[in-house]
A and B are shown apart, each in its own frame.
Chain A
Amino acid sequence: MIPAAFPRSVAIALLRFAIWIAPHDSHDWGHAMLNELNHVEGNWSALIWSLGGAGVLAKHAVLAFIFPGTHRRTVTTASELFDKEGPMRKTTVAAICACVVASLLFFLLPVFRQAFRVSLAQWHDVLHVGLTLGYLDSDPELDALTKKAEQNHDAEALAFVAVRARNQAESARLADEAVHLDPKLTWIYAVVAVSWPSLPEIDRWVLALEAWDPQNALPHFIVAEKIDIDQVIREKIPHHVDEQPASWQNAMAAAFQSSKLDNYLGRLKDLDRRVFLRYHLDDPFQVSGEDGWYGLPTYASADSSSYAKSLLESGQTLEVRNDRKGAFEKYLAVARFGQMMSPAGGFFLRRELQEAYKRLEALSQGEGNQAAASFYAAVANQADRAHYEALNSLRNRVTGSGVSHWNASLVKTSGLANLVCCGILLTCMLGVIVRGRTLRPSALYPSSLTLGLGFGAAAGALVSSSVLFVSYRPYSEILQRFIHSGDDDGLSELASFLADAQLPLGTQNFLGSWNVVFYFWSAVTVLCVLVVLIAVVRHFQTRPRATAA
């Protein structure tokens, strides 16, 4: 329990501290307030008295720090006396208005509007508690596009939203609708199936994909992926290829016998561009949406290495049996499939590919075919270089460049500064209006501090808007180049920048953003409690009394 005199003791200590930090010419006033404390009735009233006085002295301390050497002077006329309290000073107000108008003018630029939306992305996970807790969330822009696409019977737009839908049933429905309208879009089944590998529609889709593009290995990978995921869910993961079910082995065998591996990302990018142009979309997050794991099923791609190993082992067995032709075919199957995987995910099969070329080289040398042996050695070398290039590209995509990190931080900081400045400006305006109880500018009486704060906030809004615009502009150009000319050179840089822009300021990864969510909502709760407490205290303080003092 708090002792009754505790608030008064705090009040005295607070005022003494305020006197200590106050400029010398305010000490008399500080002592005046301190000595009046002896006559203030009630301990809590004394504390409130002290808080007000300390605030005044603190303000003087700050002003003395910023504007040292101010002098006392005397006045002789009434107008000079009240200059300090005259209506808002025109120069300052004009400067504030100019800054605000200039900041607002930025919003006329589509690039700036886009930049502002990107700067707000860091708050998405913090404010959307449902999404943070793992619930499905909808995207109003995508929902609107879905409605338009369905009204227009636009198969490409339906395919566009099918790839981005956050609900797997909805994604499957939209993909079916798109293919029903335009069978040429059957490939969208593969893209959606890679994103949602446990869909019940996958068996039907695989048949359609095999009929539409029979040479592609991807449908077989999708079948293997579904089996892999089922094994993971049931916690019955085979340790060797021989333990895999026949359906998995058949799918892998069919994939390794296929003549191509197309993840359809090229087609998807072209479709994206057409939909972006047709519906005047400008959300950069929708472009990088498909820029995931090379568009290949993850488990099946990783398991292709086990299957390749088993092929190499069976090739060795055939070699021992002197079946050189059979062994050659096994090694060649691994080498061919490894080459097909290279552009999409060659790192999965790097060792097996190198091993296959070594065996092919050795077999050719054994047969006295030096030209073929040299050829396989050269191809192995080339494949190794391609592997490192793919690995570097992946590393860049995952970690991003220093420039994109820096620019994302600038965009996030300037966006946040912009919001804070607008908040301060609005608070100052509301404070002045509430104090004056009028909207007439000539009758408003802002203090020097309010004017200073207002000007600082307006200037801050202008500077942060400029920084936001300049930092984001290069990424807007990348987006426009891609949409209008199909140039996808900077897309990985854009994806890296957007990935960083989504992380709350001050966090390095998505794990940290959970802490931000916690601290943000804790701070909001504490502030709400404080506001309620202040409101209750003010209510009792300002309640009319029966008798005037």
Chain B
Amino acid sequence: MKTPRLSPQTLRVLERFLEQPTAWRYGYELSRETGLKSGTLYPILMRLAKYSLLETKWVTTEDGVPPRHTYRLTPNGVELVRATFANSRATLKARRPAFSGGRA
């Protein structure tokens, strides 16, 4: 099977999701944890959701505050990403992250 290649930014996002695969995550929370700006993070989330690897849900946190969009990997996503990680982790570990100045 062809070994998929991941961009370092996507890898960081997926790593965060894999830490707690069942937990719902907020966009801003992911941004802070990965150090990615909204302009980088959201295209990744959108692409993952587009391929049904990510499920999204609107949740109301408190009264008077608009609902928030939350994300978590779908079972299919968890399986595919884990399989991909198993193959490419060795290679990816050798590579430096694209941006080392993140906050995470």
Contact = CB atoms under 8 A, between A and B. Distances in A.
Contacts of B102: 542
B20 interface: no
Contacts of B89: none
A52 interface: yes
Which of B6, B38, B50, B52 has the most A CB atoms < 10 Å from its CB? B38
Interface residue range, chain B: 35 or more
A33 B42 contact: yes
Interface in A332-376: none
Contacts of A84: 47
Given A28-B56, A79-B4, A549 B33 contact: yes
Interface residues of A, number: 46
B2 interface: yes
A49 B66 contact: no
Interface string A35-50: 1101110000000111
A53 interface: yes
Nearest to B66: A35
B103 interface: yes
Contacts of A52: 37-42
Nearest to B81: A78
Interface stretch (A216-224, A435-443, A499-507): A435-443
Contacts of A29: 42, 45-46, 69
Interface in A72-91: 72-79, 81-82, 84-87
B98 A38 contact: no
Contacts of B4: 78-79, 81-82, 85-86
A93 interface: no
Contact of B103 (A48, A56, A545): A545
Interface in B9-27: 10, 26-27
A35 B102 CA distance: 23
Interface in A438-477: 438, 443, 445
Given A36-B27, A39-B68, A74-B52, A445 B103 contact: no
Contacts of A34: 66
A445 B84 contact: no
A388 to B, nearest CB: 68
Given A86-B4, A435-B98, A443-B5, A548 B51 contact: no
B104 A81 contact: no
B75 interface: no
B73 interface: no
A533 B84 CA distance: 41
A445 B28 contact: no
A544 interface: yes
A445 B5 contact: yes
B37 A542 contact: no
Nearest to B101: A542
27 contacts: A33-B27, A35-B68, A35-B69, A36-B26, A52-B37, A52-B39, A56-B38, A56-B39, A73-B51, A74-B52, A76-B76, A78-B81, A78-B84, A81-B53, A82-B6, A85-B4, A85-B6, A86-B4, A435-B7, A436-B98, A437-B95, A438-B95, A443-B95, A445-B7, A545-B103, A548-B104, A549-B33
Given A59-B43, A74-B51, 15 more contacts: A29-B45, A36-B28, A36-B69, A39-B28, A49-B31, A52-B37, A56-B39, A77-B1, A77-B80, A78-B84, A81-B84, A82-B5, A85-B5, A437-B98, A548-B104
